[in-house]
Each structure stands twice: as C-alpha cells, then as structure tokens.
Amino acid sequence: MPRPITLFTGQWADLPFEEVCRLAAGWGYDGLEIACWGDHFEVDKALGDDGYVERTHEILNKYNLGVWAVSNHLAGQAVCDYPIDERHKAILPKRVWGDGDPEGVRQRAAEEMKDTARAAARLGVSTVIGFTGSSIWYTVAMFPPTPDAMVQRGFADFADRWNPILDVFDEVGVRFAHEVHPTEIAYDYWTTVRTLEAIGHRPAFGLNFDPSHFVWQDLDPVGFLLDFHNRIYHVDCKDAKRRVNGRNGRLSSHLPWADLRRGWDFISTGRGDVPWEEVFRALNAIGYTGPISVEWEDAGMDRLQGAPEALEFVRRLAAIEPPSAAFDAAFSNAD
C-alpha cells in the first residue's frame, strides 16, 4: 500500500469522533491521526474502560479508516512549560490541571504522557505525536540578558522530565515524535540538535516533520529532512504564507490569525510557501514510508472546503515514486 494519507483531527475536535470519521471517509482519506482531546481519543477511558479501544476500532472500521498515530500536543506542552497559567487551564483536561499549582500541573502532564503511550499501545499504534513545552522559550529574545547556564538548565530540565516518560514509551514499544515548533524545547535546526543531544539520541524520541514552522522562520525544510532523516517518525502537511513587507513583522504583533497585518499565517496546504514537491522528493530520498497527515489550518478559509482540497493536492504529490531504474539506463548498450 502506498503511504496512507490521514487527517489530523485536532482542529476538528469540536465535532464528535464519528462525524469526523464520516467526513474524512467521504473525502477519500485513508485514515486519521487522532487527537487526544474532544471525544476523539480519551486516554483515561482507553486505559480504564475495557471496551473503549474496541469501540474506537469499530467506528474506524465502519468508515474503512486506519489509524497509525495519536497526538497529545496539549498535555505534552505542560510537561516543561514556564510559566503555567490560564492558557494551559484552557487546554488541559481537568484531571491534569487539578488545583493549578504549576509544578503539580507539570507532573500530572508527565503522567498523562506516560498514559498516552500505554493507551496508544492498546489502540495498536506505535507513534505518539506531540509537544514538549519549554522552561526557556520565554527567554528567546535574550533580554534581559540570558546567561548560557540558564539555557543549559532548560535543556537539562527537559531531559530530566522527559527521560522517565520515554522509559514508558520504550516499555510499551511506542515512539514519541516531537513537533519542532516555536514555544517548544526544539523549535528550529540548532535547538533540535541540542535537544537530541540532551537525551543521548535515544531512539524513543524522534521528530514529527511539519514544514509550516520552518517557512516563517526562514529555515530550509528539505535540508532538515535530509539531515535528520533517521529521526523522522511522522509527517504532517501544514502550510504557511509569509507576508513580511516592512510593516508586517516576523513576530506578527500579537495580531489574530488571518489578520492581513501579520507577517505570516497558516494557510491551506498547497496555497502557501512550503516547497511541497521538493519535500516529497526528499521523503522519497530518505525512504520515509509512514503516514502523510494533513494538518489543516487556515483561519481565512472554511475547513469543509480546505480539507478535501488539501487531500487532492497531497495525494498528487505523494504519488511521485522513485523509478525502478535510472532514466539514463536506457542509454546503455551493455549486454
């Protein structure tokens, strides 16, 4: 089977899980990357209700959909974050938020990520996608001056908090795919290098490749794929459009999504600045055979229009396969 094309359900979690299945199947998706929020995949129920995972598979089978990964960005974000505040309260399950004491939130978020690995294993998938949070992201502007020792402590804090989580991932045979993303411990090329070093390059920790976050940082997504080829555990197709013009800045001025004064915005896959054909040729070159997941985000476009359009765009590029022989082999006259 060619690489399956899935729909990430995170931006659809306001809809019942079965309704998202119905929509995705009707558009022609092969499966879902299921978010661990809304009613899509509830970690506590997957572990505490003997019939929950079976019912999830029944719904997927009803619509002829597969699942290769689940995502728990929201709980992962709280594992290392500083500060912990009302933003986290808005996105975390009540059992993780608890009384809101920051260190308590971080510890409960870590336990939630361990349970996510266990729940994923019950579901029969081997990859969990998510965020890590960061205790030092807030220092990114480097003023007041940030001493190197403070940055070192941030990477050490990440390793101290995530190594015990990854131990559980190893125990149950599941891998974690971190989405390289501003606000996380690894948000660009060199912080990814440093993050992998911090945990000793252990195989349980890899990367979810989402090129949209490279575009607005002026990073090379194709070079990233080639350099980290053995760590690409999952691929999300999300696009971004730059509008930096002398007034619109890279940091986007605390303006809302789709405001045309922003210096960049997420946009429907295929309509932005990601060099998608080069990306897919690079995926072929590194031998990536896993799912290709459409993470659809565009605050200026209706998702019911965007999701099927994105699928059509991605499927056309995903169909590019390496040839069985070099084109110039036909020139040879060798016997």
Query: How do the domains of the chain map onto residue ranges?
Result: 5-329
pLDDT digits (tens, 9 = 90+) for 57-104: 999 999 999 999 999 999 999 999 999 999 999 999 999 999 999 999
What is the token pair recorded at 306?
């965007």
The DSSP symbol for 296 reads: -
Distances 292 to 9, 24, 35 between C-alpha atoms, Å: 13, 14, 15
What rounded mean pLDDT belongs to the chain? 96
What is residue 2's predicted lDDT score, i.e. its pLDDT? 83
What is the average pLDDT across 289-307? Answer: 97
What is the token pair recorded at 207?
């990367």
Closest to 258 (Cα-Cα) out of 266, 249, 268, 250: 266
Rounded to whole angstroms, how far apart are CA atoms 271 and 29? 20
What's the distance, Cα to Cα, between the start and end of the chain in Å? 34
β pairing state of 239-242 and 232-237:
unpaired
What is residue 325's predicted lDDT score, i.e. its pLDDT? 65
The DSSP symbol for 83 reads: S
Rounded to whole angstroms, how far apart are CA atoms 243 and 261? 8
What is residue 335's predicted lDDT score, i.e. its pLDDT? 59
Give the pLDDT band (50/70/90) at residue 326.
Answer: low
Q: Residue 321: pLDDT above 90? A: no
pLDDT digits (tens, 9 = 90+) for 33-57: 999 999 999 999 999 999 999 999 9
Rounded to whole angstroms, how far apart are CA atoms 53 and 57? 6
Q: Residue 1: pLDDT above 80? A: no
Distances 231 to 146, 208, 212 between C-alpha atoms, Å: 30, 9, 18
Q: Residue 330: pLDDT above 80? A: no
Q: Residue 4: pLDDT above 60? A: yes
Q: Which CATH number fits domain 5-329: 3.40.50.1000, 3.40.190.10, 3.30.390.30, 3.20.20.150?
A: 3.20.20.150
